[in-house]
Structure 1
Amino acid sequence: MTLKNQVQLITYPDSIGGNLKTLNNVLHNHFSDIFKGGVHILPPFPSSGDRGFAPLTYLEIEKEFGTWEDMKAIGENFDILVDLMVNHISMRSHYFQDFLEKGRASEYADLFITLDKLWEDGQPKQEDINKMFLRRKKPYSTFQIEETGEEETVWTTFGKTEPSEQIDLDVHSEKVKELLTEFFVNFSKNNIKIVRLDAVGYVIKKLGTSCFFVEPEIYQFLDWIKELADSLDIELLPEVHSHYSTQYKLADHGFWIYDFILPYTVLDTIMNKSSDNLYRYLNDRPEKQFTMLDCHDGVPVKPDMDDLIDTKEAREIVDICVERGSSLSLVLSDEHKSEDGFDVHQIRGTYYSLLNNDDDAYIVARAIQFFVPGIPQVYYVGLLAGENDVESVEKTGEGREINRHNFSLEEIDQSLEKEVVQRLLELIRFRNEYPAFNGEFKIKPSEKNEVCLAWEYGDKYCELFIDLSTNTTTIDYLNEFGQLVHDTI
């Protein structure tokens, strides 16, 4: 399929009004001309944890959210993007529960990575684990098999519990390939247009490596799954948090990638009132990207920004964000921290709050995002200029809940009355409709405290000018009569 070069929404299935039916109604009533690029619906599948990211199956929709018919109804008017946690599946899935009952006799046993698939004697070696990019203190979990009473230890990259809720899949297994094929066929039947390969960087486990984005094996898997997706007219979006050079390799391989560098770079631009780092970045980046400022996690720092930032300067930005109410996700492995000990993985907070709830600064941020080449995504909290949800963090103990507030219909109506939200909607409409965004991107010379970006396509031209000293945003463009319009956003 051909992706639409227009703005997409990112939302949980229950974050805008409570379920998929209500989401569809809200989209029609308020945002029919806003999210012409589509809707990324964060995991709507039955799940045992991690707010949908520990799925039991992709063949069903969680009953509390609705049905596949509700998904198809949204898909009639908006291209839908869904996640496939290609690295893992829930401990409570039918597949793993059968393994827990029967052990190696289970028909699903080969879906999982028992440690003897890595170490011949099944005993983990610490010197191998020390080289790995860890997401938990140890990358495996031990379970007791019901029928035999024996213990089985399987690979578990993610998960906060012990044993983990998220069980890694063995992508070398034909059983896993059959399962993924079944999931993709079901997506196609239900009119899913784009699939995000969540945590795809972790799928290859190879001793002596970091077990993250292991080359060339990662490309062999990606080529296989791309062939599958192409056969069903589904576009893929690999999700990889890594050094930017890794992202660029994916782009060179022909894949869409996420612009995980932009969110921090925009913060830096606004907080330091300097376009130097932004311009340096824009002069050397792939254009085939999905751009974002906020998402269900946090603003990426390490390892995404490695070699692009000075850690002392980064610490200053991080400290400002913390002063404004943000929290931090930290790198666990000493080997993957900076030499000076800088260990910030992500900054957690709503993007509006990161900018101190400053309307003008927020519009500056979105204007930069929309003028940077790529398909822009706007997270639902950012759409409604949401502020940090500290109460939800305290209630759940989950730091990421700071930017995961569920909006009632009343709260949506109230948010739409905010001036900053109306300004944002105006900006999105311009990004969706103005033809020049399908043309040539230009970085215009400007002073250090200014940003000037432009697009040209045939007789259409638009130019964004930002004065960072005052956070003033203006757009000049040629209208349908060839007249120059000067618009302050």
Structure 2
Amino acid sequence: MNASTDDMSIRELLHKRLCEHLAVIYPDQDGETLAHRLIQMMRLHDQCQTPIAHKNLWDQTDILVITYGNTIRRRSQHPLKTLHHFLKTHFTMLINSVHILPFFPYSSDDGFAVIDYKQVDPYLGDWNDILRISTDFHLMADLVINHCSAEHQWFRNFQENVSPGKDYFFCVNPNENLSGVVRPRTTPLLRAVSNGEETCAVWCTFGHDQIDLNFRNPEVLLEMVDIIRLYLDMGVRIFRLDAVAFLWKKIGTSCINLEETHEIVRLLRTLIEHADPNAVIITETNIPNRENLSYFGNANEAHCIYNFSLPPLLLNTLVSGSCFHLKNWLMSMPPAQNGTTYLNFIASHDGIGLRPVEGLLSDEEQEGLIQAMENFGGMISWRALDDGSRKPYEINISLFDAMRGTTSGEDGWQLERFICAHAIMLALEGIPAFYIHSLVGTTNDYERVLEHGHNRAINRRQWREEELNQELANPLSHHHIVFNRLRRLIQVRRDQPAFHPNATQFTLHLGDQVFAFWRQSLDRRQSIFCINNISDEEQCITLSSINLIGTDNWKDLIGDEVLEDMLGCVTLAPYQTMWISNRW
């Protein structure tokens, strides 16, 4: 059947855009032929849709949970089936999106050293399990784009000097000056290997079992696009581009955030949104704040970027009792354009990164935060500097344990401090993402650290479903209390237009012990004043200081208290949050 004229024009425009991207990435290649191959690989010659620029693909009901495929386990059942059952049992009408961390066969790094991008780890389940989860939740999956496992067939072929793979990896002369290369690890950057004819040094940003792919070879890009097409077919709607900032290598540079890397993100965005205009790209770039923001592009790169500065800044706020730095950071953050937004999180499968607060917290303040976390049972992971020294890279600790106390030591406010942190996250501009262990109040897992030999395992516990269900059903268990307190906040948030990810946000100035901001719905009908006591002492706030409009009726959505005296004041208990709204 002949394609319609409109379809032809869409494909022609798509082909033109791809050629423009490819001219930047591969100026010496035949862009016309490459563009045609990309269109064929994504099957856009048959079905090509028109994305709508600056369209918000989310609203206040969008909330994400982050989990490994085997975080919840049941005897004699594939973990993905168990996870699906657990999500449907506990999170229906709360969470509508799920990020399942790499669910592929892997050799190390808890899934991020991928052996086969096109298979589900048989231990976890199969593609049918993934499809079933994607029918009930928006599914987010990792595109581990920077590197693959040393056990991947591509790398095996590289060592045998056969295709595909013999030219898929980045080889360098070990005598090159690589001192300016930014590293997230302390392991050596290069690994000596034989490719069948000679010994060469391959690039390993994250470790010698994770070999960086060579995107200078367009065949590598085509392989990744083929993988993207498969994931779309398997129900993936949200693509997390893992470690994408390190993608392009150029000797003599930092090899991070290079222009070719940004152009590849733009190209992938073009392909994905023409295949599915409702699909979303999220870039995972654990780097200083200004660099992170650059991955929005001009609303033509990532739809969402991780708000990496939020976890360490919010943690520092709650353990120091001062929101000075958090408030200054919030004032400096540009509102996301329509069609883009922030992904807000305060805990994840990784640690709490310290690079995103470079230039925001002083070395002394970072050291105070680190010392407090070590006092609460946390561990520190390091990165290498170009002078051969090392610097703290991230704090490894469960968020529940991170809230045990302040820089003065442990106290009795752990639960309230923990809930306050999530109330702030839920109210900020952007889409909130809960690490599943935070939703159920999981504590530090030292046995797993000993078993796996790396610090990040401290926050990657695997629960038996029966045991966790018992804890969630026990009113005396802190797991039950945490889950139900957070569930209540989530339910309230989902009903408020002023909490739309792109709703207006302004920072309020109520002192350093009260972190406050104002949200207004896109139609300007609802205002919510988010008032958070981030100290261990009561705070009194005069209502006139936040300029409540006297002709409106105001209510705290969390405490259900109607505020009648506009000239009066409210007293916030330590770590109490109020969401004061004129619409309920």
Structure-1-length-normalised TM-score? 0.89
Question: Does residue 382 in structure 1 map to residue 438 in structure 2?
Answer: yes
Question: Does residue 75 in structure 1 map to residue 134 in structure 2?
Answer: yes
For residues 197 and 163 of structure 2, the distance between their equivalents in structure 1, rounded to whole angstroms, comes to: 14
* 3-state SS in 2 of match to 1:463: strand
Matched with 1:33 is: 93
* 3-state SS in 1 of match to 2:239: strand
Question: Does residue 362 in structure 1 map to residue 418 in structure 2?
Answer: yes
Question: Does residue 130 in structure 1 map to residue 189 in structure 2?
Answer: no
Of residues 254, 257, 264, the one that matches 1:213 is 257
Matched with 1:394 is: 450
For residues 71 and 473 of structure 1, the distance between their equivalents in structure 2, rounded to whole angstroms, comes to: 48
AA at the equivalent of 2:233: K
Matched with 2:520 is: 456
For residues 553 and 135 of structure 2, the distance between their equivalents in structure 1, rounded to whole angstroms, comes to: 35
For residues 533 and 374 of structure 2, the distance between their equivalents in structure 1, rounded to whole angstroms, comes to: 26
For residues 325 and 194 of structure 1, the distance between their equivalents in structure 2, rounded to whole angstroms, comes to: 34
Q: Deviations for 1:406-440, whole angstroms, at most 9, x for unmatched residues? A: 11112322442421221011112222232221232
Give the superposition deviation at 1:312: 0.6
Q: Mean Cα displacement is larger for which, 453-462 or 429-438?
A: 453-462
Q: CA RMSD in A?
A: 2.4
% identical equivalent positions: 26
Matched with 1:262 is: 310
Matched with 1:111 is: 168
Inter-CA distance 472–174: structure 2 relative to 1 (3 Å threshold) = farther
Give the superposition deviation at 1:473: 11
Question: Does residue 226 in structure 1 map to residue 269 in structure 2?
Answer: yes
For residues 315 and 290 of structure 2, the distance between their equivalents in structure 1, rounded to whole angstroms, comes to: 21
Inter-CA distance 143–73: structure 2 relative to 1 (3 Å threshold) = same
Matched with 1:289 is: 342
Of residues 384, 392, 408, the one that matches 1:344 is 392
Superposed counterparts of 1:40-439, under 5 Å? 40-100=99-159, 102-103=160-161, 105-115=162-172, 123-126=173-176, 128-134=177-183, 135-145=185-195, 148=196, 150-159=198-207, 164-214=208-258, 216-233=259-276, 234-254=279-299, 255=302, 256-286=304-334, 287=336, 288-302=341-355, 304-335=356-387, 343-356=391-404, 358-416=414-472, 417=474, 418-438=480-500, 439=503
For residues 92 and 402 of structure 1, the distance between their equivalents in structure 2, rounded to whole angstroms, comes to: 26
* 3-state SS in 2 of match to 1:331: strand
* 3-state SS in 1 of match to 2:463: coil
Is the 1:133–1:336 Cα contact (8 Å) retained in structure 2? no
AA at the equivalent of 1:132: V
Is the 1:8–1:376 Cα contact (8 Å) retained in structure 2? yes
For residues 472 and 384 of structure 1, the distance between their equivalents in structure 2, rounded to whole angstroms, comes to: 27
Give the superposition deviation at 1:72: 1.0
Q: Mean Cα displacement is larger for which, 286-295 or 369-378?
A: 286-295
Give the superposition deviation at 1:395: 2.1
* 3-state SS in 1 of match to 2:417: helix
AA at the equivalent of 1:245: R
Is the 1:171–1:203 Cα contact (8 Å) retained in structure 2? yes
Is the 1:360–1:472 Cα contact (8 Å) retained in structure 2? no
Is the 1:364–1:471 Cα contact (8 Å) retained in structure 2? no
* 3-state SS in 1 of match to 2:174: coil
For residues 453 and 84 of structure 2, the distance between their equivalents in structure 1, rounded to whole angstroms, comes to: 31
AA at the equivalent of 1:98: N
* 3-state SS in 1 of match to 2:448: helix
For residues 537 and 287 of structure 2, the distance between their equivalents in structure 1, rounded to whole angstroms, comes to: 31
For residues 518 and 537 of structure 2, the distance between their equivalents in structure 1, rounded to whole angstroms, comes to: 18
Is the 1:136–1:332 Cα contact (8 Å) retained in structure 2? yes
AA at the equivalent of 1:312: E
For residues 252 and 446 of structure 1, the distance between their equivalents in structure 2, rounded to whole angstroms, comes to: 34
Is the 1:263–1:293 Cα contact (8 Å) retained in structure 2? yes
AA at the equivalent of 1:113: F
For residues 497 and 70 of structure 2, the distance between their equivalents in structure 1, rounded to whole angstroms, comes to: 34
Inter-CA distance 323–485: structure 2 relative to 1 (3 Å threshold) = closer
Q: Deviations for 1:202-229, whole angstroms, at most 9, x for unmatched residues? A: 1111111111112x22222222222222
For residues 555 and 163 of structure 2, the distance between their equivalents in structure 1, rounded to whole angstroms, comes to: 69
Is the 1:201–1:218 Cα contact (8 Å) retained in structure 2? yes
Is the 1:363–1:473 Cα contact (8 Å) retained in structure 2? no
Give the superposition deviation at 1:334: 4.6
AA at the equivalent of 2:254: S
For residues 189 and 463 of structure 1, the distance between their equivalents in structure 2, rounded to whole angstroms, comes to: 42
Inter-CA distance 435–415: structure 2 relative to 1 (3 Å threshold) = farther
* 3-state SS in 2 of match to 1:247: helix
Count of matched residue pairs: 463
For residues 111 and 3 of structure 1, the distance between their equivalents in structure 2, rounded to whole angstroms, comes to: 37
Give the superposition deviation at 1:96: 1.6
For residues 539 and 112 of structure 2, the distance between their equivalents in structure 1, rounded to whole angstroms, comes to: 38
AA at the equivalent of 2:280: E
Q: Who wins on radius of gyration, i.e. which is larger? A: 2
AA at the equivalent of 1:332: A
For residues 401 and 473 of structure 1, the distance between their equivalents in structure 2, rounded to whole angstroms, comes to: 38
Inter-CA distance 184–472: structure 2 relative to 1 (3 Å threshold) = farther
Is the 2:349–2:456 Cα contact (8 Å) retained in structure 1? yes
Is the 1:465–1:473 Cα contact (8 Å) retained in structure 2? no
Inter-CA distance 124–353: structure 2 relative to 1 (3 Å threshold) = same
For residues 65 and 133 of structure 1, the distance between their equivalents in structure 2, rounded to whole angstroms, comes to: 34
Structure-2-length-normalised TM-score? 0.75
AA at the equivalent of 1:176: V
For residues 469 and 427 of structure 2, the distance between their equivalents in structure 1, rounded to whole angstroms, comes to: 28
For residues 269 and 336 of structure 1, the distance between their equivalents in structure 2, rounded to whole angstroms, comes to: 32
* 3-state SS in 2 of match to 1:76: helix
Matched with 1:120 is: none
Give the superposition deviation at 1:389: 0.5
Q: Deviations for 1:435-459, whole angstroms, at most 9, x for unmatched residues? A: 2212322323312211223322243
